[in-house]
Chain A
Amino acid sequence: MVGIKSYGAYIPLHRMPRDVMYKEWGGMPIPGERSVANFDEDSVTLAMESAIDCMKGFDPQKVDGLFFATTTSTFKEKLCASIMATAFDMRRDIRTMDVTGTLRVGTTAIAAAVDAIKAGSAKSILVTTGETRMGAPGGDFEQSVGDGGAAILLGDDGVIATIEGSYSISDEFSGQWRADGDDFIRSWEDRMVYDQGYSAALPEAISGLMKKYNISPDDVAKVVYDAPLDVRRHARVAGGLKFDGAKVQDPMFMNLGNTGSALAMMMLVAALEEAKPGDKIIFAGYGNGADAFYLQVTPEIEKVRDRRGIKGHLASKKMLDNYGTYLRWRKLLTLERARRPEQAPTSIAALWRDRRIILGLWGVKCTVCGTPQYTATPGVMGGGPPIRICVNCQAKDQFEDYCFLGKKAKIFTFTHDNLADSPDPPATVTVVDFDGGGRAVFDMTDRNPDEVAVGTPVELTFRKLYHDPARGIHNYFWKTRPIRC
């Protein structure tokens, strides 16, 4: 039976009280707080972090596909799913796909994965989502949205929840949209947006599913469905479908914000964190139509409880009370240029050559002396990748692959650099020694400078390192951060 094998989620560390935005602009005060991606986070990194959470205990080599669902992809023409597949060192003969164009891409990607597994094209597929949608400064949407990601591993064995069936509808109505070149959400008049869109299509899909599979509200332990930017419309759906309000999964508007195409999957992860074997769950996503699924939780769910997931990431937070920082991180202001040297041109050839090293954190272990080692980053010192001569015993080409991904490390030395150009000054740079051997130099992120010390335990987090504006290249690498939660 096809179903969910594992789940994971990621929420950026930083949360902004909506009050901060309201105080800046006036308009409508909206209660609660929203998550804010750091300057080095985007849809790809949010999805990757979620996928890492989801894949805990699973072998990426056994996964036959990776789908990435987002409406805020970093690239128009370049696959992002392959960035994650390379980071996970997945096989080459797999299906990779970026799904985009509607807020419903998360459930669309799940439906496509389920069909591929049912058809026998794949045994398991990892569906990831990450979203960093923006409302324009001064509007309600800026307060309402949030940033986050989720990941679901689907397969046909050892499932924690079976997918009993699904029902989809397509609808050519778009009350909210972004055209090519739009940075911010556009919207038609509120009433029509919801009356003809969300409030019509989502209940239609859920009742279609219930009719198709003969489900009554009493059969269901939890109903998990997308929320729109106006969260008041969310509760009304349950009332219309005669669901007990206690069975409705919280859309996390007060403590996360609307994470767009990632929201439905994030809510599903939150529901699964609380689910008990035997629970039946209705799960639905909305966007130019709707997809609804009927799930049943199995006893296997007890095996994947050790995720940071939604609960862990929601609780781990740092308040961001400075609206200027938000504008800076989202590049919404032209700031004074740092008087620093120009960055060297980014080379696609070099990025391609070093892809496993950079994205997958692949180092080597010397088979002569046993020393694990990670390549030096090319720079003043030279000696960039790959490692051909052992750093310890100078043996040539006597190595086996050694992956530093997921390894814990401790800070050996660090600095907080005020001269280096960083959107989150000071630039904290760390030299870290890995548990089990090996040393490397990384930027540090999501840290409180006062809490960084020699010996501080750290973990690695996948981040966007640099956007080369002259060449349109975004590159991704790993940074250190304090153990998140």
Chain B
Amino acid sequence: MAQSIKDRVCIVGMGCTKFGELWEKSETDMIVEAAYEAYEDAGIEPKDVQAGWVGTMGGMTGMALTAPLKLQYKPVTHVENACATASDAFRNACYAVAAGVCDIALALGYEKLKDSGFSGLGMGAGSPTTNIMPTTSAPGMFAMLATTYFARYGLGPEEGKTMLARIPVRSHHNGALNPKAHFQREITMEQVLRAPIIAWPLGLFDCCGVSDGAAAAIIVRAEDAKKFRPDPVYVKSLQMCVGPAEGQMSTKYDYTHVEETYRGGLAAFAEAGITDPRKEISMAEVHDCFSITEATIMEDLQFSPRGKVKDDLEAGTFTLEGDLPVQPDGGLKCFGHPIGASGLRMMYEMYLQLQGKAGPRQIKNPKLGLTQNMGGQPPGCTVSVLIVGL
């Protein structure tokens, strides 16, 4: 009988570099900075790490972690699960600790995107193929979600774009309070609505930042956690939902939601013993790669009823002062999105918030934080839903 992960492992240390266009930093710089911040936070030495999980789209083998850190002959696994890579590295590290096969594990995610010479994702040429893929970009694939959402719920282009614009305006507000964020300035609704179109109907500010960065976590068993610090953060659920990518082939997929997020959420709530997510979850960092993605995630996680996220966006539900703050650190939109690091960056914010260390963006008395991290594109995604708490 499978058991819940709830309260079996804890995070006792985390590190996260500033995200951004880190022209002067290499992968090694970022990995070392994130890992050593986490070591220091947990009060451990590098030699204390017994096993590692390294998440990146760019690297190869576990040496992506051991070589820059000069970790001495440890078991390390390279994890790749698209944009959900770091969450999956974290999940696997937690499982190893829970299984009792190691006492202290390091999960680290990183990505160096800004060495490509262009904006947007550039993950290299890839394997030989027939090259008959449609001519599109990541914004294009997610834009199709907005096209269908607008059509299904009867939103005109202006109405739909205005609904979505509230999301980056909120994220920029939060990002401006975060010294590690890639973008730290406020924007207005008018700026969002007047920005150039990247992929109709998404404009520039509907799309998240593309950044360099790294983030890391130190994981131990719950019974050992207080030896490291008085305020460890407990893992409540670790769910991963990987779809069969049927949406591009099956007329059943509605292109107004992401099934993997919905099912991942159901599983995570069950594992954590949550019955009313909207009330019980204190805050969330979700995969706002595009404004429409965040909008549909709010519905898939049952924070908003289907087709009704507009009401919550207008009511300010997901602002720092709202009932359910989302993206308190600025999200992918403003903190930035170095693919293999993002899931752990989300967890870093939940960790800081739960410990009351989030400074001017501190949420009052949070109990449970959720991260939703998503790879792939709407017809086929790989989604993690993780819940942590005190």
The interface of chain A, by Cβ under 8 A from chain B, is 339-347, 349-351, 354, 358, 371, 373-384, 387, 391-392, 412-422, 426-427, 429, 431, 433, 437-443, 449, 454, 465-466, 468, 475, 477
Interface residues on B, range: 35 or more
Expressed in whole angstroms, the Cα–Cα distance for A416 and B139 within the complex equals: 10
Inter-subunit contact A418/B198 (CB<8 Å): yes
Least CB distance from A447 to B in Å reads 13
Expressed in whole angstroms, the Cα–Cα distance for A477 and B131 within the complex equals: 10
Q: Which residues of B contact A477 (CB under 8 A)?
A: 132
Inter-subunit contact B250/A391 (CB<8 Å): yes
Inter-subunit contact A341/B125 (CB<8 Å): yes
Residues of A contacting B: mostly:
loop
Interface 9-residue window, one of B71-79, B85-93, B115-123: B115-123
Inter-subunit contact A415/B144 (CB<8 Å): yes
In the complex formed, the residue of B with least CB distance to A378 is B129
The reply on B230 being an interface residue by CB < 8 A is: no
Pairs across A and B, CB under 8 Å, 17 listed = A341-B118, A341-B124, A345-B125, A346-B129, A358-B132, A371-B250, A377-B248, A381-B245, A384-B129, A392-B250, A414-B144, A414-B147, A417-B199, A418-B198, A443-B134, A454-B148, A466-B131
Q: Which residues of A contact B379 (CB under 8 A)?
A: 376, 381, 431, 441
Least CB distance from A277 to B in Å reads 45
Least CB distance from A406 to B in Å reads 19
Give per-residue flags for B362-390: 1 if the beta carbon is below 8 A from chain A beta carbons, else 0.
00000000000000110110000000000
Expressed in whole angstroms, the Cα–Cα distance for A252 and B220 within the complex equals: 80
Inter-subunit contact B249/A475 (CB<8 Å): no
Q: Which residues of B contact A351 (CB under 8 A)?
A: 130
Expressed in whole angstroms, the Cα–Cα distance for A376 and B255 within the complex equals: 16
Neighbour of A376 across the interface among B126, B202, B248, B251, CB < 8 A: B248
In the complex formed, the residue of B with least CB distance to A355 is B130
Q: Which residues of B contact A346 (CB under 8 A)?
A: 128-131
The interface of chain B, by Cβ under 8 A from chain A, is 82, 116-137, 139-141, 143-145, 147-148, 151, 196-202, 244-246, 248-253, 255, 376-377, 379-380
In the complex formed, the residue of A with least CB distance to B122 is A341
Least CB distance from A256 to B in Å reads 29
Interface centre among B148, B200, B201, B249 (most CB of A within 10 A): B249
Inter-subunit contact A381/B248 (CB<8 Å): yes
Expressed in whole angstroms, the Cα–Cα distance for A15 and B128 within the complex equals: 37
Neighbour of A350 across the interface among B128, B135, B136, B144, CB < 8 A: B128
Expressed in whole angstroms, the Cα–Cα distance for A382 and B379 within the complex equals: 11
Expressed in whole angstroms, the Cα–Cα distance for A420 and B196 within the complex equals: 14
Expressed in whole angstroms, the Cα–Cα distance for A375 and B246 within the complex equals: 10
Inter-subunit contact B130/A475 (CB<8 Å): yes
Task: List 17 extra interface pairs beyond A421-B135, A429-B141, CB under 8 A.
Answer: A339-B119, A350-B129, A373-B249, A377-B134, A380-B82, A413-B145, A415-B136, A415-B139, A415-B143, A416-B200, A417-B198, A417-B200, A439-B250, A443-B135, A454-B148, A465-B132, A477-B132
